Amino acid sequence: MIYDLKCKQVIFFLSALILISCSGNKEGDSETTNKFTDQIEKPFPEIKLETFGYLEEVMGCSCYLATDSIQFRQQNFIYAEKYGLPDKKDFGFIKLDNKLIRLEVLSVENKSEESLRNVRLGNDQIEVWLNLQLNKSGDPEVLPAKGEIQIHIPDRLPWIQTVVGTCGC
């Protein structure tokens, strides 16, 4: 019986010791939690593109893209690009924070056999990646386009959107 009592005391003591050791340092845990919640409470601001109509600077060989076919028909574009310039200084536009922003074309990859057009544009603050599938139409100079646009701005979450529009001369 004494053995049972000592065994119960030892088990009780060990259980209490384990329970205390598992509770951890509450102050250290709350500091870690506070640092984590501070990061969550300060999210990256979203990129919100604005629409615009046809641009005088983008006449001739160009691409105009919108978020869907209704927006395209209403001439509410989120992207316009002028290409095929003799000096190879092609450029594009997006509208952000009430400003029409001009971006220089940094690279173009046309895969004619797959009807793909990949364009990378940018300036010192913004980078745009455009991946388009160009489709044939009744007019060989105007190609319907579908694809994806990605906008990358430092300290903001990337913005990815499907787009539709036309490219042609």
pTM tops 0.85, yes or no: no
How far is the C-alpha of 54 from the C-alpha of 47, rounded, in Å?
22
pLDDT at residue number 141: 87
Local confidence band at 101 (pLDDT 50, 70, 90 cut-offs): very high
Q: What is the DSSP string of 137-166?
A: -SSTTEEEEEEEEEEE-TTS--EEEEEEEE
Query: 127-134 and 116-122 as β-strands: parallel, antiparallel, unpaired?
Result: antiparallel
pLDDT given for residue 113 in this prediction: 80
Taking the C-alpha atoms of residue 169 and residue 95, their distance in angstroms, rounded to an integer, is 23
Q: In CATH, what number does 49-168 get?
A: 2.40.128
Q: pLDDT category, 34, cuts 50, 70, 90?
A: low
Query: Which of these ranges, 17-26, 45-54, 98-107, has the smallest mean pLDDT?
Result: 17-26
Banded pLDDT at 74 (limits 50, 70, 90): very high
- Does residue 118 have a pLDDT over 60? yes
Q: What pLDDT score does 157 carry? A: 86
Residue 19 has pLDDT above 60, yes or no: no
Averaged over 131-141, what is the pLDDT? 90
More confident residue, 72 or 88: 72
Could you give the percent of the chain with pLDDT greater than 90?
Answer: 56
> In this model, does residue 36 exceed pLDDT 50?
no
Q: How many residues does the chain have?
A: 169
Please report the pLDDT score of residue 37 as a whole number.
47
